[in-house]
């Protein structure tokens, strides 16, 4: 990067960089105190033309320029908004005017000036003093159409944040949602903890893990796929209301709702059950929506989502009967439906077939928010069974527009049954599809005694999607995973080219 030849557009900016230095000014700027947010400057600006407002100081990036010679207009943006700046030759010293000549789109400047509306009625700061805060060496996108190339925007998210309206706002909403979750949980007496990312056994969920290794220990390790088992061990240790907001990693496909690393919250409440979890997730989501301040009915593309509580609770069995058209315990009928859906049934455990049919017929139809409750127990190795029916597990999943947003259990705290379930492998389930991975440290902890409890996981990225009308998970993650950009298919990496410049040249420039 350092040795690369400056682009012709960058060269023009480097000249201005030099010019600013020649004026005795620091082109990279210094601490700049006393500025107010641009949104506040707009609020303080008088509405009527001809009325002088107060003198203010702001700082921001030059987004737009309109040059009339000895009178120049700029639009300057900070993270609260934009305001117009008017720079008049007559108002500035010779040195200041020289600086104005060295300004480019994308530069960061500080402005002291008087608030007043322009002749066309736009709120404006009439500049009295400009302070160079940072030179930009990069050419900004086209001023009217902006930057649209999805790949460039994902690889250069800074550009997306600066120049595309709504991107910064959406990402700041994400942080406010997470803040709201912490507030809600703190109010309910939960404490936040951090547990290891590197696991010897990647348990707590059914997913393929990323592998890594520790050099000096000489052992294989896994990136965590869930937070569950460590948090439960903390509950055994007496932390009765505990949660973690953290990154988990799943080595699986990438699409509009899946990124290999994503943010989950898992929380556990001693002496609760899945019913307490339903109340809690409802409160978490409603509080977050309230904090955003756009009401309980939020847009979802052409559609809407109504978050007004309480949300309906429907059993797995009744939803199955409603959408699949037969009772889930009518094995012959279920097999018939499965065949129609081209689901493989040979040698597959009946409950696995039922679940595949459920996923095919029910999940996409769930507009929600709706709690699906009481799952077949065989599918839930970490879940307590219903007291009056050991075939049914006290589990719910929260669905909104076909997306699974939350998954919760009455946690299984019977160490003998847990041990057995970890060792049971349902027919037709691959090992990596199973949660049945033996975590002996966890089992040892359960023997000490874990209080009966409710536990829940919520996909934070998906929650943010639903609350910000974002159709892709890439819209709510600053830096979603992308393949490394290469120079081109046949060409080797740039470093290889550098090493072999002379030979490469002869090979790639055949005579004739």
Partner RNA sequence: GGGGGCGUAGCUCAGUUGGCAGAGCAACGGACUUUUAAUCCGUAGGUCACAGGUUCGAACCCUGUCGCCCUCACCA
Residues 385-424 that bind RNA (CB under 7 A): 404, 407
Smaller CB separation from RNA, 147 or 291: 147
Binding of residue 4 to RNA (CB under 7 A): no
**Contacting residue, 4, 5, 31, 68, with RNA by CB under 7 A:** 68
485 vs 155: CA distance, rounded Å: 9
Span of 7-15, 170-178, 313-321, 324-332 interacting with RNA by CB under 7 A:
7-15
Q: Which of residues 444-473 bind RNA (CB under 7 A)?
A: 459, 461-462, 472-473
**Contacting residue, 23, 42, 79, 88, with RNA by CB under 7 A:** 88
Check if the beta carbon of residue 106 is closer than 8 Å to that of residue 147. no
The per-residue b/e assignment along 486-504, b for 16 or more CB within 10 angstroms, e otherwise, is: eeeeeeeeeeeeeeeeeee
Check if the beta carbon of residue 354 is closer than 8 Å to that of residue 376. yes
11: Cβ contacts below 8 Å, ≥ 6 apart: none
**Contacting residue, 14, 150, 191, 493, with RNA by CB under 7 A:** 150
**Contacting residue, 23, 36, 154, 200, with RNA by CB under 7 A:** 154
Smaller CB separation from RNA, 234 or 380: 380
Q: Which of residues 113-142 bind RNA (CB under 7 A)?
A: 118-122, 124, 139-142
> Minimal distance in Å, beta carbon 186 to RNA?
25
Binding of residue 81 to RNA (CB under 7 A): no
Could you tell me the sign of the dihedral formed by the alpha carbons of 370, 376, 380, 385, in that order? positive
Q: Which of residues 257-286 bind RNA (CB under 7 A)?
A: 257-260, 262
378: Cβ contacts below 8 Å, ≥ 6 apart: 349, 351, 352, 426
Q: Which of residues 190-219 bind RNA (CB under 7 A)?
A: 205-207
> Minimal distance in Å, beta carbon 23 to RNA?
16
Binding of residue 157 to RNA (CB under 7 A): no
CA 503 to chain centroid: 46
Q: Where are the alpha helices (DSSP H) in 243-369?
A: 274-292, 316-324, 331-340, 350-361
Short-list 409, 434, 408, CA closest to 421: 434
175 φ/ψ sector (left φ>0, alpha ψ -120 to 50, else beta): alpha
Binding of residue 61 to RNA (CB under 7 A): no
Span of 87-95, 189-197, 319-327, 417-425 interacting with RNA by CB under 7 A:
87-95
Span of 85-93, 278-286, 302-310, 329-337 interacting with RNA by CB under 7 A:
85-93
Write the interaction track for RNA spanning residues 470-489; mark x where CB under 7 A is met and - where it is not: --xxx-------xxxxxxxx
346: Cβ contacts below 8 Å, ≥ 6 apart: none
Binding of residue 341 to RNA (CB under 7 A): no
Smaller CB separation from RNA, 450 or 467: 467
Smaller CB separation from RNA, 89 or 423: 89
Span of 88-96, 272-280, 292-300, 439-447 interacting with RNA by CB under 7 A:
88-96
> Minimal distance in Å, beta carbon 293 to RNA?
27
Write the CA distances from 2 to 5, 6, integer angstroms: 9, 10
Smaller CB separation from RNA, 284 or 450: 284
**What does residue 279 show for φ and ψ, rounded to 5 degrees?**
-60, -40
Q: Which of residues 225-254 bind RNA (CB under 7 A)?
A: 250, 252-253
The count of chain residues that interact with RNA, using the rule CB under 7 A, is: 75
41 vs 28: CA distance, rounded Å: 24
Span of 5-13, 267-275, 322-330, 413-421 interacting with RNA by CB under 7 A:
5-13
Binding of residue 365 to RNA (CB under 7 A): no
243: Cβ contacts below 8 Å, ≥ 6 apart: 185, 190, 191, 192, 193, 231, 265, 266, 267, 268
Smaller CB separation from RNA, 225 or 450: 225
- Secondary structure in 3-state letters for 188-250: CCCEECCCCCEECCCCCCCCCCCEEEECCCCEEEEECCCCHHHHHHHHHCCCCEEEEEEEEEC
279 vs 269: CA distance, rounded Å: 12
Binding of residue 31 to RNA (CB under 7 A): no
């Amino acid at each position: 990067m350092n040795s690369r030849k400056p682009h012709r557009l960058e060269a023009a900016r480097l000249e201005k960089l030099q010019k600013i230095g020649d004026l005795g000014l620091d082109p990279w700027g210094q601490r700049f105190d006393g500025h107010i947010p641009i949104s506040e400057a707009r609020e303080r600006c008088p509405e009527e033309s001809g009325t002088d407002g107060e003198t203010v100081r702001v700082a921001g990036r030059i987004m737009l320029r309109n040059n009339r010679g000895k009178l120049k207009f700029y639009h300057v943006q900070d993270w609260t908004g934009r305001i117009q700046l008017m720079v008049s030759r007559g108002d500035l010293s010779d040195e200041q005017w020289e600086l104005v000549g060295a300004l480019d789109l994308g530069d960061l400047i500080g402005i002291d000036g008087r608030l007043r509306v322009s002749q066309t009625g736009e709120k404006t700061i009439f500049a009295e003093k400009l302070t160079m805060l940072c030179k930009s060496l990069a050419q900004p996108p086209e001023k009217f159409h902006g930057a649209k190339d999805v790949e460039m925007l994902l690889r250069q998210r800074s550009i997306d944040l600066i120049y595309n309206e709504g991107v910064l706002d959406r990402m700041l909403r994400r942080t406010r949602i997470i803040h709201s979750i912490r507030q809600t949980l703190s109010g309910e007496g939960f404490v936040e903890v951090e547990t290891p990312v590197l696991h010897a056994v990647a348990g707590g969920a059914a997913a393929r893990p990323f592998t890594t290794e520790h050099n000096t220990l000489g052992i294989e390790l896994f990136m965590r796929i869930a937070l569950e088992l460590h948090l439960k061990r903390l509950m055994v240790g007496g932390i009765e209301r505990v949660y973690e907001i953290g990154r988990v990693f799943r080595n699986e496909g990438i699409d509009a709702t899946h990124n290999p690393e994503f943010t989950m919250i898992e929380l556990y409440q001693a002496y609760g059950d899945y019913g307490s979890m339903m109340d809690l997730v409802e409160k978490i989501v409603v509080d977050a929506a309230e904090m955003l301040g756009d009401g309980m009915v939020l847009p979802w593309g052409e559609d809407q989502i109504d978050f007004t509580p309480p949300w309906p609770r429907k059993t797995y069995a009744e939803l199955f009967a409603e959408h699949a058209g037969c009772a889930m315990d009518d094995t012959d009928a279920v097999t018939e439906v499965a065949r129609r859906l081209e689901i493989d049934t040979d040698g597959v455990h009946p409950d696995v077939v039922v679940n595949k049919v459920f996923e095919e017929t029910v999940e996409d139809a769930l507009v929600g928010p709706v709690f699906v409750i009481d799952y077949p127990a065989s599918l839930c190795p970490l879940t307590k069974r219903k007291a009056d029916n050991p075939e049914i597990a006290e589990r719910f999943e929260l669905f909104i527009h076909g997306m699974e947003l939350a998954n919760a259990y009455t946690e299984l705290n019977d160490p003998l049954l847990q041990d057995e379930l970890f060792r049971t492998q349902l027919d037709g389930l691959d090992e990596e599809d199973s949660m049945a991975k033996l975590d002996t440290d966890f089992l040892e902890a359960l023997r000490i005694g874990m209080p009966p409890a409710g536990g829940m996981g919520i996909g934070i990225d998906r929650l943010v999607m639903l609350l910000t009308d974002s159709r892709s998970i890439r819209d709510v993650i600053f830096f979603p995973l992308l393949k490394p950009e290469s120079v081109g298919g046949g060409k080797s990496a740039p470093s290889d080219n550098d090493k072999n410049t002379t030979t490469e040249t002869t090979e790639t420039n055949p005579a004739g």
